[in-house]
């Protein structure tokens, strides 16, 4: 999403464009997939005055506005990513922890079937755990 678009979305929704919000959104964009602690570390490269509660609150606001999404890629904190890239879901290797982004069209047969049953799936939060090809060879 172009910078002007997310700025307008914040204003239209009654939020001020604060330096902290801008830093958090830019950090998520730059990091790709990041936990709140990773976002905080990136933000602190530019501003030492931002604290972890500000990052969490900002991520909640940005997600509420549809500017970022989160997924659970581990048993740790949620991982946030920008919506500026393509819509995707995640594959996570339980052994080497590699994360692969997958186009949601792969799930079309499933989502079409669910839609026929009256349920619209939101696959942007979906994470599928398993073993990648390299680790499958070594997994007992």
Evaluate whether 35 touches 78 at the Cβ level (below 8 Å): yes
Place of tokens 């060879």: 137
- Per-domain residue ranges of the chain: 3-82, 89-136
Banded model confidence at residue 4, pLDDT cuts 50, 70, 90: low
Secondary structure class of 52 (helix, strand, coil)? helix
Question: Each residue of 5-28: pLDDT tens digit?
Answer: 777 888 888 888 888 888 998 999
Residue 5, H or E segment: helix 3-12
| Separation CA 90–CA 93 (nearest Å) | 10
| Separation CA 105–CA 122 (nearest Å) | 12
For residue 126 the two structure tokens come to 């979906």
Selected from 3.40.30.10, 3.30.479.10, 3.30.565.10, 1.10.10.10, the CATH number assigned to the domain covering 3-82 reads 1.10.10.10
For domain 89-136, give the CATH superfamily. Answer: Ferric-uptake regulator, C-terminal dimerisarion domain (3.30.1490.190)
| pLDDT attached to residue 42 | 94
Question: Each residue of 95-139: pLDDT tens digit?
Answer: 998 888 899 999 999 999 999 999 999 888 789 999 999 897 665
């Amino acid at each position: 999403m172009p910078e002007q678009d997310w700025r307008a979305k914040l204003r239209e929704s009654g939020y001020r464009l604060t330096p902290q919000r801008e830093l958090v959104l830019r950090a998520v964009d730059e990091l790709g997939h990041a936990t709140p602690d990773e976002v905080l570390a990136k933000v602190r490269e530019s501003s030492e005055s931002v604290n972890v509660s500000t990052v969490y609150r900002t991520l909640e606001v940005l997600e509420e506005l549809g500017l970022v999404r989160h997924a659970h890629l581990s048993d740790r904190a949620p991982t946030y990513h920008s919506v500026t890239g393509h819509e995707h879901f995640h594959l996570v290797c339980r052994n080497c922890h590699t994360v692969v982004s997958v186009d949601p069209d792969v799930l079309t047969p499933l989502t079409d079937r669910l839609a026929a049953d009256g349920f619209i799936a939101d696959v942007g939060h979906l994470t599928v755990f398993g073993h990648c090809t390299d680790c499958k060879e070594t997994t007992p």
